Amino acid sequence: MVEITADLQIHSKYARATSKNISIENLEKYARIKGLQLLGVGDFQHPLRRKEIDEKLTEDEYGILRTASGFPFLWQTEISLMYSQDGKRRAVHHLVFSPNREIADQITEFLGSKGRLDYDGRPIFGMSSPELVEAMKKISDKIEIIPAHCMTPWFGLFGSKSGFNSLKECFQEQTRKIYAIESGMSADPSMLWRFKEVSEGVNVVSFSDAHSFWPWRLGRESTIFDIPEFSYENIIKAIRTGNGIKATIETPPEYGKYHWDGHRACGFSCSHEETKKLKNVCPVCKKPLTIGVDNRVEEIAAFPQGHKPKNAKPFHKLLPLHEVIALAIDSNLEGKKTWEIYNELIKNFGNELQILLHSSKEILLGKSFDEKLIDLILRNREAKIKVAPGYDGEYGKALLGEAQSRLF
């Protein structure tokens, strides 16, 4: 068996709001530092990204794209659909995976018939979600479609602003061809287990939606596969059946940008219980609050908190190592001292996920690192670092000391 930790939701520099330095070279470099063994290639239908793929990656017999040094990528993109259904505006992002170059060409040709491909790496089309699935499956049943960051208010399948209350409502007669949903940062699998369709067998995967290559973005959410052989076919089989998904890596849902309700412009956030008392109205500006993931789960869940279906997989809740270091030394993610400590840890232990998940207290202390930092690494592994919940596009903030006890 081959164990692979994969981040399969990546963007290129050709998508909006992304780093202009998110090259294949930088993705490979920081994936290795993170401890990832597979990435999505991102935005493969964009003409300039495709040129980059053709110049820098070769495809092996298993449908895997590889760099000159052998690092693997999957054919992957993200498609934004905006349309009307039942008198309501809908906006849903979908991950699309191709088994090989030939099928990727056919996907690109189809998408090009629906609109421009050169203006954004994550293109927008007016077709519906069922229409996309039907069209992809006509090209090849080996194409996989997964609803991305399914709880995000504005562009998630179940989003409070433009989403649906169920997979069936969204995908209609094509629902049986949807085998998994992607959790997204503001939710974790235990929240999604409360949904009827997940409880009945739809699998949960997790990927980062990275807009840069930095290790506090890349791989912050990922899926650990345990498959017989490294191939596109085996990865997709694991996603469809759940057999071969060993676990997922999740940030604490509070760390995500849409966990609680609130208004970023007003600096106000609150739990779903408080929102109910406020009748969904911001006390600062008197306008409707942006309803977050925690509230939305309570609204549409079929089961109570703690429900765990038969198909449930283990998951690890982890803050990125840069966050832990910055918390320990009271610095910021990109600070010089944070990077110095991070690089020294990587030098000693090989990669970030090894440190976050596996290195023992004795081994960590044996390298003469600060005990406060080691304590936080171990507390992070046990999901014992509290986070002030993110809201309305604002990331959550890890807390230390007195703030830990005051939060809840």
Residues 6+ apart with CB under 8 A from 382: none
* CA 296 to each of CA 167, 382, 404: distance values in angstroms, whole numbers, following the listed order: 15, 26, 25
Which tens digits make up the pLDDT trace of 186-203? 999 999 999 999 999 999
Cβ atoms 218, 7 nearer than 8 A: yes
Q: Do residue 144 and residue 225 come from a single domain? A: yes
Is residue 216, in this structure, part of any structural domain at all? yes
Give the total number of structural domains in the chain. Answer: 2
Q: Do residue 239 and residue 162 come from a single domain? A: yes
d(CA 59, CA 260): 43
d(CA 235, CA 40): 12
**Nearest Cα to Cα of residue 74 among 221, 225, 305, 232:** 232
Cβ atoms 199, 307 nearer than 8 A: yes
Q: Do residue 90 and residue 171 come from a single domain? A: yes
The domain boundary residue, chosen from 255, 274, 307? 255
Q: What's the token pair of residue 286?
A: 């008197």
Residues 6+ apart with CB under 8 A from 201: 242, 309, 311
- DSSP symbols for 373-389: HHHHHHHHHTT-S-EEP
Which tens digits make up the pLDDT trace of 58-112? 999 999 999 999 999 999 999 999 999 999 999 999 999 999 999 999 999 999 9
Q: What is the pLDDT of residue 402?
A: 47
Is residue 135, in this structure, part of any structural domain at all? yes
Which tens digits make up the pLDDT trace of 235-265? 999 999 999 999 999 999 999 999 999 999 9
Domain that holds residue 326: 319-382
**Helix (H) or strand (E) segment spanning residue 94:** strand 88-98
Is residue 261, in this structure, part of any structural domain at all? no
The domain boundary residue, chosen from 255, 271, 298? 255
Confidence band for 404, pLDDT divided at 50, 70 and 90? very low
Domain at 15, CATH number: 3.20.20.140
> How remote is the C-alpha of 167 from its chain's centroid?
19
Inform me whether the pLDDT recorded for 407 exceeds 60. no
Which tens digits make up the pLDDT trace of 357-384? 999 999 998 887 889 999 999 999 999 9
Please tell me whether residue 403 adopts helix, strand or coil conformation.
helix
- pLDDT (mean) for 154-167: 94
pTM of the model: 0.96
Dihedral angle sign, alpha carbons of residues 31, 37, 43, 47: positive
Q: What's the token pair of residue 100?
A: 């090989």
* CA 127 to each of CA 120, 135, 139, 396: distance values in angstroms, whole numbers, following the listed order: 17, 10, 17, 34
Is residue 18, in this structure, part of any structural domain at all? yes
Is residue 278, in this structure, part of any structural domain at all? no
Dihedral, 368, 383, 156, 146 alpha carbons, nearest 10: 70
d(CA 263, CA 198): 30
Q: Do residue 335 and residue 230 come from a single domain? A: no
The domain boundary residue, chosen from 214, 229, 255? 255
Q: Do residue 68 and residue 214 come from a single domain? A: yes
Cβ atoms 193, 253 nearer than 8 A: no
Say what percent of the chain tops pLDDT 90.
Answer: 96
Cβ atoms 16, 4 nearer than 8 A: no
Is residue 400, in this structure, part of any structural domain at all? no
Is residue 329, in this structure, part of any structural domain at all? yes
Q: What's the token pair of residue 264?
A: 């970023």
* Residue 38 CB neighbours (<10 A): 20
Q: Do residue 236 and residue 350 come from a single domain? A: no
Q: Do residue 59 and residue 201 come from a single domain? A: yes
Inform me whether the pLDDT recorded for 162 exceeds 90. no
Is residue 369, in this structure, part of any structural domain at all? yes
Q: What is the pLDDT of residue 401?
A: 62
Amino acid at 141: D
* CA 215 to each of CA 27, 89, 104, 270, 318: distance values in angstroms, whole numbers, following the listed order: 10, 35, 28, 30, 13
**Helix (H) or strand (E) segment spanning residue 261:** strand 261-263
Q: What's the token pair of residue 79?
A: 């498609």
In the block, residue with structure tokens 């906006």: 91
Residues 6+ apart with CB under 8 A from 311: 198, 201, 203, 242
